[in-house]
Each structure stands twice: as C-alpha cells, then as structure tokens.
C-alpha cells in the first residue's frame, strides 16, 4: 500500500528543513535540487526548479556551479552555511520552511534599521544574538566554534529574510575565538547589492579576478 500524497508531501517538507540546517550531512546543493524537484512535482509545478534558477540567474545569484558559485564571489569558499540560506528563502515563499521563531513587526523594523551601524565594526555570534535575539533559523553547526548563518524573519512572507553570515578561519584566528561576522544579506534585488559587509568581511572578500 502506497502512502498518500499528503503524507509524502509532509515527509519531504520535514526533510527539507533538516537539510537546510545541516546540509553537509545530506550531500550539499545537489541534494537540495533533488528534494525541491520532488516537492515541486507533488505541488504540480513541473517548471518550479527551472523558474527558481532563472529568477536567481536574473539577479546574478546563480552560476553554472549553482548558488555556490555566486556566493563565492562575495564570501570565502568554506563558508558552507551561506548556501542553504538561499534555498531557505525559496522554501519560505512556498510555505515549506519551518522557523524556530518569528520576529514581530517591531523587532524586524528595528533589526533592518540597525544593520548599517551594526556592520560598521567587527562582530561575533554572541554580538548578533545579544543585539537581535535567537535566530528564526540557524544554518550550520550549533557548536560555538564553527561557521554558521543566522536567519531572522517575520511570519509575513513579503518581509525579506535577513541573514548573518559568520565564518571561522582556523588558520589565523584562535580556536576559541568563535565565528566572526562577515556580512549581512537581505533583499531580492541585484545579488551584490544585498550584502552589507563588516570590516573583516571586506578584508575576506575574494579578489574579483577569482570570482
């Protein structure tokens, strides 16, 4: 006896949320392509994945190597938690993303207004949480020493998610220093314009000839 379409749909959504949080355990971006394809198929949106990629390509957020290639133009290659944040935005618009908490409208407005000042100096994980509270979703390890991306969002899908990309450089920073904030990303315009970099993020940006 086969499971119902509703049961399969709920199962895949649950798997998407596990993948987004710990993507390395599931095989990286190709695993997300596959499960998104399956969900689009169940929802009778056969062109869903192609349309999603095209919307990213129009913003310069998708390359022949996927979202990964676009992110590597702005962030260090080994900041792996940045990649699932892109798919999380798409999942939220489809109603697939389960958040740990939703910001109130006032919290969200205050966060957006504080970004430019916040990124004017270098920050760590503790600084982000102290300023804005626990994230709506955490992508990457919960281990305090490892890189991660913190997402903040309201229940209103028209409010763009806000992502804090925190990176650990084992070669030049003490192991107990924790991840340092490189950039805050938000918005649906041209991809490069959605980043606000900290001083460390500016120092760590890949050279243009390597992008």
- The answer to whether the CB of 137 falls within 8 A of the CB of 99 is yes
pLDDT tens per residue, range 162-201:
999 999 976 666 666 789 999 999 998 999 999 999 999 9
Q: What pLDDT digit, counting tens, does each position of 86-99 carry?
A: 999 999 999 999 99
Mean pLDDT of 126-151: 95
pTM: 0.93
């Amino acid at each position: 006896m086969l499971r119902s379409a509703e049961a399969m749909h709920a199962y895949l959504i649950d798997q998407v949320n596990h993948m987004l949080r710990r993507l390395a355990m599931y095989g990286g971006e190709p695993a997300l392509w596959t499960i998104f394809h399956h969900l689009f198929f169940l929802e009778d949106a056969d062109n869903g994945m192609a349309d999603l990629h095209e919307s990213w390509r129009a913003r310069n957020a998708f390359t022949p190597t996927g979202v990964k290639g676009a992110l590597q133009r702005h962030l260090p290659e080994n900041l792996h938690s940045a990649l699932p944040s892109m798919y999380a935005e798409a999942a939220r618009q489809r109603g697939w993303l389960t958040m740990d908490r939703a910001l109130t409208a006032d919290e969200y407005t205050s966060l957006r207004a504080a970004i430019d000042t916040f990124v004017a100096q270098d920050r760590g994980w503790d600084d982000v949480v102290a300023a804005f509270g626990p994230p709506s979703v955490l992508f990457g390890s919960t281990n305090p020493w490892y890189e991660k991306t913190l997402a903040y969002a309201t229940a209103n899908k028209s409010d763009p998610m806000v992502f804090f990309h925190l990176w650990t450089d084992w070669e030049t920073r003490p192991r107990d220093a924790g991840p340092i904030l490189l950039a805050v990303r938000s918005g649906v315009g041209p991809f490069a314009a959605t980043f606000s970099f900290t001083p460390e993020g500016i120092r760590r940006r890949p050279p243009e000839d390597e992008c």
